[in-house]
């Protein structure tokens, strides 16, 4: 049986942050480059403001699930969620994470001290980490709802997919009336991720 | 055709268009819902489509259509098949003339379900063929072929994808959609369709006589196949077969089961070529049972000897472990990793501004010592507010509540049930409770939509599956017709009227119904309803924490005190809870 290794990406966040749209962008880009692709995502009750994960296997020919400890890239829409799923990455894997933290309501209710951005960042220090201020860039692009596309722009430096096909895929996937805002968001994300791309060389 | 990146359920829906189907019925349930959701919005649709009030109704509709010679699809989740089990069992006896495919989507790991039952057992039980896809492409191809198979054997066919098929995505090659053109016509034949004992004894024999032919045909169809590569073999089926392919060494034989019943002679031929066979399948040991029946002296490993679990979802890592445990060195092994231990949980939660939260809050206030049987829906998340004591299955909140009272429980019972669930199987429980003199309060959480599965319309919504307007059912009139004399409708965003109604109900004997009616916040947002911005006046706030305890994700505590976040939908319940009046309308988001 073919054992060409797929490039495995895990996208994590909070239900409602747009992980499914992000995974659609990757899937669509794979089709444009005629690469096989498999993915798995969270639906139903589990997505009501809960922790969500999408698996995408670029070049994948087997099942959609990525075994823990083997993912090549983690894209995190929230710092805490990146930390929660960090064990999915292989040791040399790269993490591209939105530098924001939504404290789970359960923490407020329990009255325990909420984790801070600094604490979570410190906990992620061992990883090859690229932090992106996606909220500010999304607002700059014209809509805070485009944070997921900002993140895809930033992550584009680490994906085995061409810039052209990723951008085209993004244009195909976002709602038609928001294409221009999303193009700005993607480009701002791409610029922000460039420094990481220069610093974190592929291994 | 060019490949497309599709969700499993999208590929399945397209397979139905290729068949083509003439009728589709279903009741929403994760992971099955998107199939009807896609079929109902297909442009140029030439078939009938409906969201039925429950799975039994959906199946009986579809069965009748298939008796009339058209192709009918009926969709549900695994637990829905329990509701439809009654017609299912007999539909195998009556058979069909048109194609009838029953899609029952299983949920290993119970990602969004109350149990992990295996629909393949129902196929075995009712003696109908079952198709169990291992990939999205196969799910697409299989559902299309299932209609042909159904017509060939004049039997319903069970189609059983699992969560990792329905809700995974992949590059899929689709065929062309065909134009539905059949017109149903019922040919009277009481010996076939009236299952009085004299007829049914004949029909049962006929059903049994069909079995050998089905088994042979399924092998010919190619959904069950194998490769002999060594003296040890792995047999797998469903999505687990993909995990096996990922880790299987080259010198181990492989058999994949995609269709049931399995031809014993064919299976035996393969098993006996080997010294040892390992069976890898999620949930029930259906393949393993068949293998053990024909294995003779061949060594068989699987669930029954502890190498493989009966419960939960499989993964490449878990399958690799099963192979090792059974003495096969997997071609791929995975690192042992542990998740970070100190990450606070982020479970799914009622949305900011969800009207159900206010109801649970008020119930806890008025019925401090009450018991809270609940039901299946978003509102099951009221568990986190301590307002859900039981959840069994659709419609079981009212029946469980009346059972508690009849058992002698003296505390107040307050059952909660959603509008869709009430129409599904709640009504029968209500009329039973009233007629038999139960003493309880029933709160119908009426948000006019089936929210949890993706906002499918139901008879309270006022539109059908295809968007045609229809008169919404009156829950008040149904409850009164069931014999309830105390029926109060309240707006849960108005805490005063909500608590007044609860107090009134508490003071009366018998079955009382409160209908808490307010649109689902997601529906309201999509409809463009804006209720304004709210802020906390830091000079007035005493930081008492009551609003935090309300559990709304739109309120958080920061280093600078309590704050209303961007998630706020403006329901204003917190302004009614705050004892110092510190939360007010207005201000900047």
Dump pLDDT digits (tens) for B159-176: 999 999 999 999 999 999
Rounded to 5°, the CA angle B42-B45-B47 comes to: 125
Chain B residues in contact with A4 by the CB 8 A cut-off are: none
Given a cut of 70, is residue B406 above it in pLDDT? yes
How many C-beta neighbours within 10 Å does residue B405 have? 20
Distance CA B440, CA B293 (A): 52
Chain B residues in contact with A63 by the CB 8 A cut-off are: 135, 164, 168, 239, 242-243, 246, 316
**What whole-number percentage of chain B has pLDDT above 70?**
100
Given a cut of 60, is residue B16 above it in pLDDT? yes
CA–CA min distance A197, chain B (Å): 26
Q: Is B170 on the interface with A (CB under 8 A)?
A: yes
- Closest partner residue to A63 (CB to CB) among B246, B453, B551 is B246
Say if CB B46 and CB B16 are below 8 A apart. no
CB contact under 8 A, B168 and A38: yes
Distance CA A141, CA A146 (A): 8
**pLDDT band for position A43 (50/70/90)?**
confident
Q: Is A105 on the interface with B (CB under 8 A)?
A: yes
Mean pLDDT across B406-414 = 97
Chain A residues in contact with B453 by the CB 8 A cut-off are: 44
Mean pLDDT of chain B: 97
Given a cut of 50, is residue B27 above it in pLDDT? yes
**Confidence (pLDDT) at A1:** 44
**Confidence (pLDDT) at A46:** 62
Counted across chains A and B, CB pairs separated by less than 8 A come out at 173
CB contact under 8 A, A67 and B334: yes
Pairing of strands B4-7, B23-26: unpaired
Beta partners for residue A132, in sequence order? A98
Mean pLDDT across A152-168 = 97
Say if CB B294 and CB B270 are below 8 A apart. no
Packing angle between helix B286-294 and helix B119-126, nearest 10 degrees? 50
Burial B263-276 (b: 16+ CB within 10 A, else e): beebbbebbeebeb
Q: Is A124 on the interface with B (CB under 8 A)?
A: no
Q: Which residue of A has its CA nearest to B450?
A: A44
CA–CA min distance A120, chain B (Å): 9
Q: Which residue has the higher pLDDT, A200 or B29?
A: B29
Distance CA B285, CA B280 (A): 9
CB contact under 8 A, A114 and B557: yes
What is the token pair recorded at B15?
């397979």
Distance CA B123, CA B149 (A): 15
Q: Is B318 on the interface with A (CB under 8 A)?
A: no
**Confidence (pLDDT) at B559:** 82
Q: Which residue of A has its CA nearest to B32?
A: A44
- Give the side-chain half-sphere CA count within 13 A for B157: 30
Given a cut of 90, is residue A202 above it in pLDDT? no
Q: Which residue of B has its CA nearest to A56?
A: B169
Chain B residues in contact with A144 by the CB 8 A cut-off are: 566
CA B43 vs. chain centroid, Å, equals: 26
What is the token pair recorded at A3?
């054992």
Q: Is B559 on the interface with A (CB under 8 A)?
A: no
What are the pLDDT digits (tens) for A45-59? 667 789 999 999 999
**Confidence (pLDDT) at B589:** 52
CA–CA min distance B510, chain A (Å): 34
Q: Edge to edge, what strands does the sheet with B276-280 contain?
A: B225-227, B253-257, B232-237, B276-280, B299-301
Q: Is A38 on the interface with B (CB under 8 A)?
A: yes
What are the pLDDT digits (tens) for B61-85? 999 999 999 999 999 999 999 999 9
CA–CA min distance B213, chain A (Å): 32
Q: Read off φ and ψ for residue B501, nearest 5 degrees.
A: -65, -40
CA–CA min distance A106, chain B (Å): 7
Q: Is B334 on the interface with A (CB under 8 A)?
A: yes
Mean pLDDT across A181-187 = 98
Q: Which residue has the higher pLDDT, A3 or B257?
A: B257
Pairing of strands A71-76, A51-58: unpaired
Given a cut of 90, is residue B501 above it in pLDDT? yes
| Host H or E run for residue B555 | strand B555-558
What is the token pair recorded at A177?
């009336």
- Closest partner residue to B317 (CB to CB) among A68, A107, A111 is A68
Distance CA B333, CA B216 (A): 37
Say if CB B379 and CB B357 are below 8 A apart. no
What is the token pair recorded at B496?
């005063």
**Confidence (pLDDT) at A44:** 66
CB contact under 8 A, A38 and B170: yes
CA–CA distances in Å: residue B9 to residues A163, B103, B244, B260, B523: 30, 11, 23, 21, 23
CB contact under 8 A, B111 and A44: yes
Mean pLDDT across B385-408 = 97
**What whole-number percentage of chain B has pLDDT above 90?**
97
**Confidence (pLDDT) at A42:** 81
Q: Which residue has the higher pLDDT, B324 or B43?
A: B324
Strands (E) in B320-421, as ranges, are 414-418
Nearest CA to B573 out of B400, B360, B409 is that of: B360
Interface test with B, best of A105, A117, A135 (most B CBs within 10 A): A105
Chain A, residues 49-78, CB within 8 A of chain B, namely 49-51, 56, 60, 62-65, 67-70
Chain B, residues 368-407, CB within 8 A of chain A, namely 378, 380-381, 384
The three-state (H, E, C) secondary structure of chain A, written as one string: CCCCCCEEEEEEEECCCCHHHHHHHHHHHHHHCCCCEEEECCCHHHHCCCEEEEEEEECCCCCCCCCCCCEEEEEECCHHHHHHCHHHEEEEEEEEEECCCCCCHHHHHHCCCCCCHHHHHHHCCCCEEEEECHHHHHHHHCCHHHHHHHHHHHHHHHCCCCHHHHHHHHHHHCCHHHHHHHHHHHHHHHHHHHHHHHHCCCC
Chain A residues in contact with B170 by the CB 8 A cut-off are: 36-39, 60, 64
Given a cut of 90, is residue A201 above it in pLDDT? no
Pairing of strands B225-227, B253-257: antiparallel
Chain A residues in contact with B337 by the CB 8 A cut-off are: 68-69, 87-88
- Give the side-chain half-sphere CA count within 13 A for A171: 11
What are the pLDDT digits (tens) for B88-120? 999 999 999 999 999 999 999 999 999 999 999
| Host H or E run for residue B574 | helix B573-577
CB-based contacts of B274, cutoff 8 Å, min separation 6: B230, B231, B232, B233, B253, B298
What are the pLDDT digits (tens) for B532-588? 999 999 999 999 999 999 999 999 988 888 999 989 999 999 999 999 999 999 876
Q: Is the dihedral of CA B98, B457, B131, B137 positive or negative?
A: positive
Residues in chain A: 203
Distance CA B203, CA B216 (A): 21
DSSP symbols for B199-258: HHHHHHHHHHHHHHHHHHHHHHHTSSEEE--SSEEEEEETTHHHHHHHH--TTSEEEEE-
Nearest CA to B150 out of B55, B66, B47 is that of: B66
What are the pLDDT digits (tens) for B430-473? 999 999 999 999 999 999 999 999 999 999 999 999 999 999 99
């Amino acid at each position: 049986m073919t054992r060409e290794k797929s490039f495995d990406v895990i996208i994590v966040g909070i239900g409602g942050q747009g992980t499914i749209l992000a995974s659609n962008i990757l899937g669509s880009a794979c089709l444009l480059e005629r690469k096989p692709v498999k993915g798995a995502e969270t639906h139903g009750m589990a997505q009501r403001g809960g922790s969500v994960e999408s698996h995408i296997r670029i070049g994948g020919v087997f099942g959609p699930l990525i075994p823990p400890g083997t993912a090549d890239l983690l894209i995190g829409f929230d710092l805490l969620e990146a930390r929660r799923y960090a064990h999915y990455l292989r040791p040399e894997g790269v993490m591209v994470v939105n530098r924001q933290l939504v404290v789970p309501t359960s923490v407020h209710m329990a009255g325990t001290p909420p984790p801070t951005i600094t604490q979570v960042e410190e906990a992620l220090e061992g990883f090859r980490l690229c932090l992106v201020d996606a909220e500010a860039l999304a607002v700059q692009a014209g809509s805070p709802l485009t944070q997921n596309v900002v993140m895809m722009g930033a992550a584009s430096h680490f994906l085995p997919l061409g810039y052209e096909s990723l951008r085209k895929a993004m244009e195909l996937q976002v709602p038609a009336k928001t294409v221009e805002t999303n193009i700005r968001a993607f480009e701002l994300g791409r610029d922000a991720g460039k420094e990481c791309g220069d610093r974190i060389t592929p291994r | 055709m060019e490949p497309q990146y599709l969700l499993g359920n999208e590929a399945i829906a397209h397979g139905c268009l290729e068949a083509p189907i003439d009728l589709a019925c279903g009741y929403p349930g994760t992971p099955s819902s998107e199939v009807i959701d896609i079929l109902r919005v297909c442009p140029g649709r030439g078939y009938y489509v409906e969201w039925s009030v429950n799975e039994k109704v959906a199946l009986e509709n579809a069965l009748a259509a298939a008796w009339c010679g058209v192709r009918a699809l009926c969709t549900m989740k695994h637990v829905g098949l329990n509701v439809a089990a009654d017609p299912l069992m007999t539909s195998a006896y009556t058979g069909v003339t048109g194609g009838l495919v029953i899609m029952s989507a299983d949920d290993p790991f119970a990602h969004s379900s109350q149990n992990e039952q295996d629909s393949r057992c129902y196929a075995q039980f009712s003696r109908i063929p079952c198709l169990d896809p291992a990939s999205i492409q196969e799910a697409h191809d299989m559902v299309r072929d299932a209609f042909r198979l159904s017509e060939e054997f004049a039997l319903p066919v069970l189609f059983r994808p699992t969560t990792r098929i329905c809700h995974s995505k992949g590059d899929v090659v689709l065929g062309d959609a065909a134009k539905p053109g059949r017109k149903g016509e019922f040919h009277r034949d009481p010996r076939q369709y009236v299952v009085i004992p004299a007829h049914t004894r004949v029909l049962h024999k006929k059903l049994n006589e069909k079995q050998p032919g089905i088994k042979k045909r399924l092998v010919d169809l190619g959904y069950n196949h194998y490769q002999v590569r060594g003296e040890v073999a792995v047999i797998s089926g469903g999505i687990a077969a993909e995990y096996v392919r990922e880790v299987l060494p080259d010198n181990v034989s492989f058999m994949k089961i995609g269709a049931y019943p399995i031809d014993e002679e064919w299976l035996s031929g393969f098993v006996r070529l080997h010294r040892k066979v390992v069976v890898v399948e999620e949930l029930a040991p259906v393949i393993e049972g068949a293998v053990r029946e024909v294995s003779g002296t061949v060594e068989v490993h699987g669930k029954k000897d502890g190498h493989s679990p009966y419960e939960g979802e499989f993964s490449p890592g878990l399958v690799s472990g099963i192979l090792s445990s059974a003495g096969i060195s997997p071609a791929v092994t995975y690192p042992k990793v542990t998740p970070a231990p100190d990450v606070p949980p982020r479970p799914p939660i009622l949305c900011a501004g969800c009207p159900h939260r206010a109801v649970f809050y008020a119930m806890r206030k008025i019925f401090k010592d009450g018991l809270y049987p609940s039901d299946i829906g978003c509102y099951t998340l009221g568990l986190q507010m301590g307002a859900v004591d039981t959840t069994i299955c659709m419609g079981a909140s009212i029946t469980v509540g009346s059972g508690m009272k009849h058992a002698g429980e003296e505390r107040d019972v307050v059952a909660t049930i959603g509008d869709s669930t009430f129409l599904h199987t709640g009504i029968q429980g209500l009329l039973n409770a009233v007629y038999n003199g139960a003493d309880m309060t029933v709160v119908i959480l009426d948000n006019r939509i089936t929210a949890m599965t993706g906002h499918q319309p139901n008879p309270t919504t006022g539109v059908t599956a295809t968007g045609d307007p229809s008169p919404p059912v009156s829950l008040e009139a149904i409850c009164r017709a069931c014999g309830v004399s105390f029926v109060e409708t309240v707006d849960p965003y108005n805490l005063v009227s909500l608590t007044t109604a609860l107090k009134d109900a508490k003071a009366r004997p018998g079955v009382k119904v409160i209908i808490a009616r307010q649109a689902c916040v997601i529906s309201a947002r999509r409809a463009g309803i804006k209720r304004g911005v709210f802020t906390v006046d830091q000079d007035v706030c005493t930081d008492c924490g009551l609003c935090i305890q309300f559990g709304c994700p739109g309120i958080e505590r920061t280093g600078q005190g309590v704050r209303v976040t961007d998630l706020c939908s403006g329901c204003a319940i917190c302004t009614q809870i705050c004892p110092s009046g510190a939360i007010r309308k207005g201000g900047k988001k």
